Every structure is written in C-alpha cells, then in structure tokens.
Amino acid sequence: MFGYGEGLSGAESPVLEAAKLTKVVDSERVALSSVDLVVRSGEIKGLIASNSFTVKTLFELILGLKSPDAGMIVSGGGAGLKAEQSPQTQFGFLPEEIHIPDRMSGLEYLRLMANLSGMNRGEALSQIASVTERLGIGATLGLKCGSLHIPERRLLALAGATIHSPELLLLSEPIKEMDVFAEGRVKDFLKSTADAGSAILITSREMGAIEKLAQDLVVFSESQVVYDGPMSLVRRFSGRNVLAVEIDGLHSHFESALEGPVADGILAFQFDGDRYVIRFDEAMFLTEMLRVILEAAEESGVILCGVSLQTEDLGETVRNILINAPVRERSQSSLPELRGEPKKELPAAKDTD
C-alpha cells in the first residue's frame, strides 16, 4: 500500500479502526478485501474507489447496516460504542440522494433530527442556531422543504447530519450541484467541525470535490487500499509543475544534464514520443523551472524547440496511482520515490485526444 501509515494529519485518538476488513457483495464482486483503515479525531479523509460499490459498502459496514464477512471494524476509540452512545448519536450520515419530507419546514426537519439524537429542547435550539448560521441557511427554516432547490436541501440535510456533533461524519457528494459560495460555506463548516473533534469521511465521483474538502486521501483499487496518505503528497505529483520540452540534438546529452548539478528541483522526467515531460518541485516558480531547462540545454549543447507548461488535474494523478500501483500484500509501506531519492521516471502519460 502507498502512504505513510497512521497519524497523517497530526490528528488525535482513533474513532474508527478496520483490520483485514472483507466484504463480498455477490459471487462476482468483492467490495472490500483485507482493508486496514484508521480514522482519527479531527481528520478529513477523502475516499476514491475504482468502482461504485466499495465506498458504499464501507459506509454500510460503519453504520451497522451490513456485517463484514471477515476482519473487524471497531468504532468509538477502540472499545466499541460508549455506554451513553447509540449509532444515531455517534455517526452522522449525508447520502447522495436527499430525502426530506416536502411538507416539513426546514426548522421542523432540524428539530426532528435533534429529537432522534436524544437532544433536549434547549440543546436542540442552540445547535440549530449554530449550524444554520455557519451554513448560511437561516432563510430556509421557515420554508417548506418541497419548495427548496436541491443545493438548499443538501445544505439542510448536512445541518441535520451534524446537529448532534457526531464523532464520525460520513458524507456522500456533499457539494453536488452547489455554486462556489455554497461550496465555500461547506468547506469552512467541515473544517470547523473537524477542529471541534469530529472525524469526517467524504466520497465523491468528482476529484475536484475531494480536493476542495479533504486533507487526506484514501484510494481503493479492486477492493483494496493502494494509497492512504496526505492530499499534499498527491498534489506534489499532480502535474502542477510540469514542463513539456522539445529539443533538437543528442538526447543522451540532454538527459545527462537533467540528472546533473544544474537540474536542482527536477523530481522526474521521461521522453514521451517527441518531447520530454519534466516534473519539478511544487515550490518552484515558472522562472526557476525555465532557468533550469535553459542551463541544461546550454550544458548539453541541444537546441530548445519548444517549452510549454502542462496543467493536469489532481484526478489524473489518482488515475495514475490506480494504473501504476498494483495491489500488493498488506503492508504499511510508502512510496519510496517520494520519501527517498527521486526516481527519474513518471507515471503513464495522460492520453490526449
């Protein structure tokens, strides 16, 4: 498995631990195979899978809707549910499809969610005031839910899922169909919720949503975890600082220069048909990258025919993880090329139309 193992975000005690967790969906599909996962208080983890049922099944196991076929999953700091807790108070869940009774007002819905969590009237009113202010949905409280737009219903459902300050919050497509202003409110809301001690798991089909909201990333391929680590580590290799360079001259001389003293800041390179794709440290500015290329060209005696900046997105890097990181025996190993000396190679190049 790729990643640094446990404690990636400096978070605190575990609120969820899975060991060798396995769940078979049917005779042809395995949702989870020997999965080890630790989720700690204060973490915001994004979950990406190569199929549609892996994360769905994981959520169902966490919520107790299904039982594992093998392995174990423990919540509540390693000792199961605390005596004063029930699944309704320990977890919060936002499904992709929002189902709120149309005839209820926003306030009635939040009061219902508070009552289901066992909150008294004073606690409920205090929490309703807090979450509606933080999410900017006060205007929806007096409206019937059937009159709300889908993004407004999603924000109201998010408020309901967090009304009781759960230890673990499970979110499916939390910013689907929202504008940038609503996305910003959700991002700030989740950060403050995590800062208060809740752990958050987010899943989405859109890598952009995961990138906006999560601090850590878990990638599943063929029912197993192939990456569990900081989002910042993935961003480092996401193509943000990648130059495509075309030359005329001896390629061996140019490659030697790219590996030499002038190549400070180059993390990896490869020859891709008619050009070099060169990845630089994320901290470098474009002028610094161009200086390195010019010095390498001068040292090797080649002529630069073209230099352009590539702009791959983070999703491309995740796809490269899935393609280039075959599932191995369970371990806590990390990406050696990220922790040691950088290797002069890149993941498979993105296909272009």
Residue 236 has pLDDT above 70, yes or no: no
List, in sequence order, every beta strand (DSSP E) within the chain.
Answer: 2-3, 14-26, 29-40, 44-49, 70-75, 91-94, 168-172, 199-203, 216-221, 224-230, 242-248, 266-271, 276-280, 303-310
* Phi, psi angles (nearest 5°) of residue 282: -65, -20
- Nearest-CA neighbor of 278 among 290, 262, 267? 267
Q: pLDDT digit string (tens) for 116-154? A: 999 999 999 999 999 999 999 999 999 999 999 999 999
* Phi, psi angles (nearest 5°) of residue 335: -75, 110
The one-letter amino acid at 66: K
Domain with CATH 3.40.50.300 in the chain: 2-235
Specify the CATH superfamily of domain 239-311.
Protein-tyrosine phosphatase receptor IA-2 ectodomain (3.30.70.2470)
What pLDDT is stored for residue 176 in this prediction?
94
Question: Which of 19-33, 44-58, 249-263, 272-286 is least confident?
Answer: 272-286
What pLDDT is stored for residue 263 in this prediction?
81
24: which 2 tokens?
Answer: 């078979």
**130 vs 235 pLDDT, higher one:** 130
**322 vs 70 pLDDT, higher one:** 70
What pLDDT is stored for residue 128 in this prediction?
97
* Cβ neighbours, 10 Å, residue 330: 15
**216 vs 80 pLDDT, higher one:** 216
The one-letter amino acid at 98: I
* Cβ neighbours, 10 Å, residue 120: 10
Hunting for tokens 């900081």 — which residue is that? 230
Q: pLDDT digit string (tens) for 303-339? A: 999 998 876 566 666 766 665 555 444 333 333 333 3
Q: pLDDT digit string (tens) for 19-42? A: 999 999 888 889 999 999 999 999
**Whether 157 contacts 145, CB under 8 Å:** no
For residue 46, list its beta bridge partners.
202, 217
- Nearest-CA neighbor of 159 among 192, 187, 134? 134
Q: What is the CA radius of gyration of the chain?
A: 24
Angle at 89 between CA 160 and CA 43, to 5 degrees: 80
Residue 181 has pLDDT above 80, yes or no: yes
How many Cα atoms are found within 13 Å in the side-chain-facing hemisphere of 234? 30
Domain with CATH 3.30.70.2470 in the chain: 239-311
What pLDDT is stored for residue 166 in this prediction?
94
Provide the pLDDT confidence category of residue 237 given band limits of 50, 70 and 90.
Answer: low
Question: Which of 131-145, 160-174, 260-274, 303-317 is least confident?
Answer: 303-317
What pLDDT is stored for residue 328 in this prediction?
44
**Mean pLDDT, all residues of the chain:** 83
Per-residue pLDDT, averaged over 4-33, amounts to 76
List, in sequence order, every beta strand (DSSP E) within 67-211.
Answer: 70-75, 91-94, 168-172, 199-203
Provide the pLDDT confidence category of residue 226 given band limits of 50, 70 and 90.
Answer: confident
CATH topology of domain 2-235: Rossmann fold (3.40.50)
For the chain, percent of residues with pLDDT exceeding 90 = 58
List, in sequence order, every beta strand (DSSP E) within 285-326.
Answer: 303-310
